Amino acid sequence: MCVTPGRELFRWLEFEGQRAFRADQIMGWIYRKWTLDPLEMQNLPECLRIRLSDSFSCGTVKMLDSQSAPDGTAKLLLGLHDGQTIESVIIPHGSRTTFCLSSQVGCPVGCRFCASGTGGLVRNLHAGEIVEQLLACCRHYGARPDNLVFMGVGEPLMNLDNLLVALEAICDKARFDFAQRRITISTSGWTAGIRRLAECRRQFNLAVSLHGSDDSVRKKLIPNCRRPLHEILDACDHYRSQTGRMVTFEYTLIDGVNSRPEQATELADIAKRSRAKVNLIPLNAVPSLPFGPPQRDVIKKFMSVLEARGVQVSIRIGKGSSVAAACGQLRSSAGTY
Ligand code: SF4
């Protein structure tokens, strides 16, 4: 089923001589029951079910594998129509659940510590594939999420056209009806995308992965598509001024690379200048890559330097490490790159 463009479905139904309320029924099946196969839409006449099935590609995103950790984190490996695969992660925390979605097959950025970066970019996800990925997570989990984060495989702001179409469907009251403020878009610092997203003036949360407090550390960790730090900070200022939203700086802590106290001081200065929050993420190590997280006391010290300088800081403890929950690991272990 073509799940994003509601207007096209209306036009198609009109062309087929169907009454307008059929669109609401179909949208109900897709967005509230997460059912994409028209043949299963039991309150539609059989002839309409068959016509829909013949006219639209239905349910092109298929569950291939899933792994669950004792903490409740579930990682899904999803297959696409062309044989490519993507990953999504379902992360329960307390009474709330976050779905972490992918935006591309592979990733052009190639962060040195990330399994997804090793194979480069294969292709962008279409808008319908992004939405179907969300619906596949709902089906697997049996409920809607409380939060959505685009922090899975890919650089979302390099697939912004498709992402925006998908987000329109996800936030549309007549479709998935999800609040903009519960959606976080993560970027490695692709400034053209940050500026374009700012111009949309939506209320999405923007998370910018700095991973380094200066350009030389970022150069070591982020080989491709990297923009200078000053340009990223200017783009973040623009995002805040256009949307009124506070930006979050994501910072993956890596032993011996970016976890020294003086680097924490530099990061604090950057965050204060940008009026940004900081989210520290001790690296969820990928076995085949030569990076690991710092010791616990190093992490605590790093955090305390930020706090002492008045920065709002949180720490994201790696969940689901027993299910290869570091970005790209399930896809990697499935031999898809
Ligand atoms: S960390 Fe994110 S941006 Fe970097 S390579 Fe992995 S998926 Fe791409």
Q: Do both 36 and 87 map to the same domain?
A: no
The response to whether residue 38 sits with its C-beta less than 6 Å from ligand 1 reads: no
Summarised one tens digit per residue, pLDDT across range 208-237 is 999 999 999 999 999 999 999 999 999 999
Q: Are residues 160 and 74 in the same domain?
A: yes
pLDDT attached to residue 316: 81
Residue 205 lies in a domain: yes
Establish if 113 belongs to a structural domain. Answer: yes
* Residue 1 forms part of a structural domain: no
Same domain, 71 and 38: no
In a domain, 208, yes or no: yes
Q: Are residues 321 and 185 in the same domain?
A: yes
CATH of the domain at 175: 3.20.20.70
CATH label of the domain that carries residue 25: 1.10.150
pLDDT (tens digit per residue) in 171-208: 999 899 999 999 999 999 999 999 999 999 999 999 99
Catalytic residue flag (residue 262): no
One domain, residues 130 and 172: yes
Beta partners for residue 85, in sequence order: 79
User: Which residues have C-beta within 8 Å of that of residue 183, sequence separation ≥ 6?
Assistant: 147, 148, 149, 150, 167, 170, 171, 204, 205
Residue 334 has pLDDT above 70, yes or no: no
Ligand 1 site, residue 303, Cβ cutoff 6 A = no
DSSP state of 258: S
In angstroms, what is the span from residue 115 Cα to ligand 1's centroid? 8
Tell whether 71 and 51 lie within a shared domain: no
- CA nearest neighbour of 162 among 116, 215, 102: 102
Please state the domain count of the chain. 2
Whether residue 152 is found in the same domain as residue 248: yes
Q: Are 99 and 75 found together in one domain?
A: yes
How many angstroms separate the alpha carbon of residue 107 from the centre of ligand 1?
A: 6
Best CA proximity match to 197, nearest among 247, 228, 243: 243
For ligand 1, say whether the CB of 86 is within 6 Å of any of its atoms.
no
CA 174 to the chain's CA centroid:
23
Domain that includes residue 26, residue range: 6-55
Q: Is 87 a catalytic residue?
A: yes
Q: Are residues 20 and 117 in the same domain?
A: no
Task: Write down the mean pLDDT value for the chain.
Answer: 91
- Do 209 and 166 belong together in one domain? yes
Q: Which atom of ligand 1 is nearest to the CA of 151?
A: 2
Using pLDDT thresholds of 50, 70 and 90, give the confidence band for residue 320. Answer: low
Interval between CA 221 and ligand 1 midpoint (Å): 10
Active site residue: 87, 129, 132, 155, which one? 87
47 and 73 both lie in a single domain? no
